[in-house]
Chain A
Amino acid sequence: MAAAGAIFPDKTFIAYARPTRERLTLELIEELAAAKRRVPAFAYSIVNATPSNVEKKMANLPNAVRVRMLVPDLDLIPEKASKSARYSFTKNIPSLTATATQTASWLAEVMEAQVDGGATVLLTPSLLLENGHGEVELRRILEWADTARSLRKVQAYPVVTGLVMGRDWLVKEEKRENLLNVLTEVPDPAFQITVHWPQMGSYSQVNDSDALRGYREVVEVLEDDSREVIAARAGLAGWMLAACGAAAYSAGVYPSHIYKDSPTIRRSKGSHPPPRIPHYLDGKLLSYIPEARLAAVSAISGPPNCSCPDCSVLAGGYQEPAAFRHLLRLHSRLAATLASKTEPRVFARGKVLAAMSLIENNPLQLPTFVTSHLDVWQDVLS
């Protein structure tokens, strides 16, 4: 049940975009919102974007997008030295250079840039809570949030405390307990939790069972304590975490939007990027399915397993924009369905079990890595 004064009164899907590839996502959101489709929230990473560019993008969003967030991203930690040279973030929002000794004026800059950019919900910057330690960083993050809420320009806005953490903070009981003891003690009404997931295949979903189990406990405890959690950039696992108690989750149209450990930015000199394999997100299988298997899956459960108009397009042949539009619609619909259930976790587990059954009983010949998360998820949801 949504708490009074909640930032996210329903289970909310937040469409996430990065400036390097945002054009398509923005167009999709505009199109969906114009068609009165449900995309109530949008988060935009502001690394590598000029303030005027950010402002323009946010201003152009349709009114239907009620929650607008600008993310002071920390993508580049822990490899900031090499990547900072590559990205011109210092001209924009300098949270990438954040250290435990940032000044109050820096914090004000980060927060006020979001207000100026047109955000309706503000997010505090985070430091990475690394696996081995991070207590000092946690304290500093919460101090920033405390200070941020008191800034004159910020006071009129709901503020979400950003937390970026290694999986140890979810997996190790002592660290998780310490985290929860601290988070339930501070007055912060909402937290965005972004986990540095271990590396996984491009089209895999998060299947780190220990971390997901710990994450479930974190969202359950915080929900019980009337705090809202955004499970950020965990792909469809965010939906599962929303079923466990997260108020919202964010995901982008690209698998690379899942926040993974040490993402590779530079390739070796002269090498070419591997060709991108077209995939679409299947609502019944809760997995990314390669285009090559689209026909086989459709033969069993109908075109990409939902009734959206883009699925008819996909049925006639794969098109990336249609696959992406379908993905955003699907996320929105999945989130909305959770909001309508009295026991969202039970409902979500039922969906996962149904997906497993479909795969088990039909010769779909799917690569195992695209569906290996399902068994983990049904266990986490049980």
Chain B
Amino acid sequence: MTTIADFQVLYRLSSPSARKPQCAHEEIERAFDGERCRFLGSGSFGETWRIGDDFAAKIIVNDLFPAERIEREIEAARVDHPNIVHLEEVREIGLAGERRVALLFGFVKGTDLASKITSEGYVKDETQLRGLAVGVFSGLAAMNTKRVIHRDIKPENIQLRMGTVARPVILDLGLAHVADLSSLTRYPSALGTTAFMPPEVLRGEHAVARSDVFAAGVTLFIAATGKHPWLEDGKQVTNVEYAAMIAGGPPETELYDEELDVLIRDTLHRQAFRRPTAARSIERLSR
């Protein structure tokens, strides 16, 4: 079994980047035919801007950002589902004399789950929480049917339509990957956010669909309790320590909704094959 070097795992619940944009506001508006634009955040790829009322543009301004990741995101975003952000168009735009790729997604009005929990605390309404679980698993199940693995499910990447917890939309397919058979048994370096990684990814194996289920489980646990199942906010541990914590099983969520409680715990199983699939998770919540 391939192992990867030790690395640090840090959990900190945060809303998407509030850094200042590098692109000039006027340049963006000009690139989008004078539409009203507003900076939303930035990432390793570049910047995200809201374009008019209906779109969010992910503009690739980092020249070193791997082209294949853009291609993967485009491929993954073709999964058409109400719980997955919809890719409307891929456009080439001119910015400060350079040609840049912009991915235009449907803008989901509302807030992200991380911001919601940060500002309002954990989700106390268990009906809403159940709706969140059904929505996230529905999105993942739709991806699974196309063999797409998201690889970066976390509260920051769950947008809540109109701020409603029960209406989640999965964002940021930048690390998404279309699984093929060769990827199942080949071991690459770990991608994603470490605090949401399951043991198989922590030890250097490829993410599988049930790795997304694990990350969804961590996300739901945070939504249900305000806490990460194993990590203290802001405290670093090594990947080996983190894997040992996971092996000990998750703590109680103390939810009244016993079915949801058991499901969340099952999604956090240390062994991928023991976790329910996203489709099975929905079935369990629909019974």
Give A residues with C-beta under 8 Å from B: 135-136, 138-139, 142-143, 146, 174, 177-178, 180-186, 221, 225
Stretch of B18-26, B58-66, B162-170, B203-211 that contacts chain A? B203-211
Q: A177-B273, A181-B205, A181-B210 are in contact. List 6 more A-B contacts (CB 8 A).
A: A135-B185, A139-B186, A178-B205, A182-B184, A184-B273, A185-B209
Which residues of the partner chain B approach A138 to less than 8 Å between Cβ atoms?
Answer: 185
Identify which of B1, B185, B271, B274 contacts A182 (C-beta below 8 A): B185
Inter-chain CA distance A108–B186, complex, in Å, is 26
Inter-chain CA distance A139–B179, complex, in Å, is 13
* Chain B 42-73 residues near chain A, CB threshold 8 A: none
Which residues of the partner chain B approach A180 to less than 8 Å between Cβ atoms?
Answer: 271-273
Give B residues with C-beta under 8 Å from A: 1, 179, 181-182, 184-186, 200, 205, 208-210, 271-274, 277
Assess the A185–B179 pair: CB atoms within 8 A. Answer: yes
Which residues of the partner chain A approach B209 to less than 8 Å between Cβ atoms?
Answer: 185
Sampled A-B contacts (14; CB under 8 Å): A135-B185, A178-B1, A178-B205, A180-B271, A181-B184, A181-B205, A182-B208, A184-B272, A184-B273, A185-B179, A185-B208, A185-B210, A221-B273, A225-B273
Inter-chain CA distance A142–B147, complex, in Å, is 15
Which residues of the partner chain A approach B272 to less than 8 Å between Cβ atoms?
Answer: 177, 180-181, 184
Assess the A139–B182 pair: CB atoms within 8 A. Answer: yes
Inter-chain CA distance A331–B182, complex, in Å, is 39
Which residues of the partner chain A approach B205 to less than 8 Å between Cβ atoms?
Answer: 178, 181
Closest partner residue, chain A, to B183 (CB atom): A139
Assess the B271–A185 pair: CB atoms within 8 A. Answer: no
Inter-chain CA distance A336–B208, complex, in Å, is 37
A126 → chain B, closest Cβ, in Å? 15
Which residues of the partner chain B approach A186 to less than 8 Å between Cβ atoms?
Answer: 181, 184
Which residues of the partner chain B approach A139 to less than 8 Å between Cβ atoms?
Answer: 181-182, 184-186
Q: A135-B185, A186-B184 are in contact. Are A181 and B1 (CB under 8 A)?
A: no
Inter-chain CA distance A146–B180, complex, in Å, is 10
Closest partner residue, chain A, to B1 (CB atom): A174
Closest partner residue, chain B, to A143 (CB atom): B181
Closest partner residue, chain A, to B200 (CB atom): A181
Closest partner residue, chain A, to B145 (CB atom): A187
Which residues of the partner chain B approach A182 to less than 8 Å between Cβ atoms?
Answer: 184-185, 208
Which residues of the partner chain B approach A177 to less than 8 Å between Cβ atoms?
Answer: 200, 271-273
Which residues of the partner chain A approach B1 to less than 8 Å between Cβ atoms?
Answer: 174, 178
Assess the B184–A142 pair: CB atoms within 8 A. Answer: yes
Inter-chain CA distance A338–B209, complex, in Å, is 34
Which residues of the partner chain B approach A146 to less than 8 Å between Cβ atoms?
Answer: 181
Inter-chain CA distance A183–B277, complex, in Å, is 13
Closest partner residue, chain B, to A142 (CB atom): B181
Closest partner residue, chain A, to B208 (CB atom): A185
Which residues of the partner chain B approach A181 to less than 8 Å between Cβ atoms?
Answer: 184, 200, 205, 208, 210, 271-273
Inter-chain CA distance A184–B269, complex, in Å, is 15
Which residues of the partner chain A approach B186 to less than 8 Å between Cβ atoms?
Answer: 139
Which residues of the partner chain A approach B271 to less than 8 Å between Cβ atoms?
Answer: 177, 180-181
Which residues of the partner chain A approach B179 to less than 8 Å between Cβ atoms?
Answer: 185
Q: A180-B271, A184-B210, A221-B274 are in contact. Are A136 and B181 (CB under 8 A)?
A: no
Inter-chain CA distance A140–B268, complex, in Å, is 30
Inter-chain CA distance A138–B274, complex, in Å, is 20
Which residues of the partner chain B approach A185 to less than 8 Å between Cβ atoms?
Answer: 179, 184, 208-210
Inter-chain CA distance A138–B183, complex, in Å, is 12
B268 → chain A, closest Cβ, in Å? 16
Which residues of the partner chain B approach A221 to less than 8 Å between Cβ atoms?
Answer: 273-274
Which residues of the partner chain B approach A184 to less than 8 Å between Cβ atoms?
Answer: 210, 272-273, 277
Which residues of the partner chain B approach A225 to less than 8 Å between Cβ atoms?
Answer: 273, 277
Among B184, B200, B208, residue most surrounded by chain A Cβ atoms (within 10 Å): B184
Question: Across chains A and B, which 8 residue pairs bring their CB atoms closest together, nearest first?
Answer: A180-B273, A139-B185, A184-B273, A181-B272, A185-B208, A135-B185, A143-B181, A142-B181
B69 → chain A, closest Cβ, in Å? 22
Closest partner residue, chain B, to A146 (CB atom): B181
Closest partner residue, chain B, to A184 (CB atom): B273
Inter-chain CA distance A182–B209, complex, in Å, is 10
Which residues of the partner chain B approach A136 to less than 8 Å between Cβ atoms?
Answer: 185
A306 → chain B, closest Cβ, in Å? 38
Which residues of the partner chain A approach B208 to less than 8 Å between Cβ atoms?
Answer: 181-182, 185
Which residues of the partner chain A approach B181 to less than 8 Å between Cβ atoms?
Answer: 139, 142-143, 146, 186
Inter-chain CA distance A282–B253, complex, in Å, is 53
Inter-chain CA distance A269–B236, complex, in Å, is 69
B122 → chain A, closest Cβ, in Å? 31
Inter-chain CA distance A366–B95, complex, in Å, is 87
Closest partner residue, chain A, to B275 (CB atom): A184
Inter-chain CA distance A146–B274, complex, in Å, is 24
Among B209, B210, B271, residue most surrounded by chain A Cβ atoms (within 10 Å): B271
Which residues of the partner chain A approach B184 to less than 8 Å between Cβ atoms?
Answer: 139, 142, 181-182, 185-186
Inter-chain CA distance A136–B181, complex, in Å, is 11
Closest partner residue, chain B, to A145 (CB atom): B181
Closest partner residue, chain A, to B273 (CB atom): A180
Inter-chain CA distance A186–B147, complex, in Å, is 9
Which residues of the partner chain A approach B182 to less than 8 Å between Cβ atoms?
Answer: 139, 143
Inter-chain CA distance A221–B184, complex, in Å, is 18
